[in-house]
Amino acid sequence: MKELWELFWTFAKMGAMTFGGGMAMLPILQREVVDSKHWATEEELMDYYAIGQCTPGIIAVNTATFIGQKYRGWLGGIVATLGVVFPSLVIISILAGLITNFSHLAWVKNAFAGIQVCVCVLIFNAVVKLLKKSVVDRRTAAIFLLVLAGGVFLSISPVWFVITAALAGIVLKNLEVRGK
């Protein structure tokens, strides 16, 4: 029971402190789940995060579910999921009642503008960290550049990028192995 409470509390803190969605949650997940609690490795976290982006639903919720399930089975998955969404439910319920009354105020608009900039920096830092861990050779650099170009110039679902990148990884690795 203590481990389930720790799982709930850890993800509840992340849910309460993460503004900007799943991408902004990545640095906190890294620190809490990998560095502090050792519930997953960096590679596992990246895998969970990638799968969480491809599956229906919210990235943060999907990732929490994967980590909780790995750590404490199906019950851990449920507890981690409840932990990560609980603060949002409370905060959104409170804000929904207040925001309509104050959204026209300049200081509220300015606060949200500042939060948006902060979230952009957090996402950028997470991307740089992931980039350093993921792009490790010519094969992964080629896949990165192709997906980046596709993301900039094409208007297609990210799911297609993930599927294509997975297939490219398989094909390029097999060609590399055959060439040796």
The 10s digit of each residue's pLDDT in 65-88 is 889 998 889 999 999 999 998 988
Total domains, the chain: 2
121 and 159 in a single domain? The answer is: no
Answer yes or no: do 176 and 154 share one domain: yes
Q: CA 136 to CA 158: how far, in whole Å?
A: 22
Q: 35-41 long-range contacts, Cβ below 8 Å, gap at least 24? A: 37/6, 37/10, 39/67, 39/70, 39/71, 40/67, 40/70, 40/71
Euclidean distance between the first and the last CA atom of the chain, given in angstroms as a whole number: 52
110 and 69 assigned to the same domain: yes
Same domain, 170 and 94: no
- Identify whether the C-beta of residue 126 lies closer than 8 Å to the C-beta of residue 63: no
23 shares its domain with 80? yes
- Kindly compute the dihedral angle of the four CA atoms of residues 55, 58, 59, 63, in this order, to the nearest 10 degrees: -90
Residue 23 has pLDDT above 80, yes or no: no
Show the domain range for 15: 2-134
What per-residue confidence (pLDDT) applies to 22?
64
pTM of the model as a whole: 0.56
Q: Which residue has the higher pLDDT, 11 or 99?
A: 11
Residues 125 and 147 in one domain: no
The DSSP secondary-structure symbol of 55 reads S
| 45, 30 contact by CB (below 8 A) | yes
Instruction: Find the mean pLDDT for residues 170-177.
Output: 86
Following CA atoms 38, 60, 132, 158 in sequence, which dihedral angle do they give, to the nearest 10 degrees? Answer: 140
Distance in angstroms (rounded) separating the CA atoms of residues 115 and 97: 20
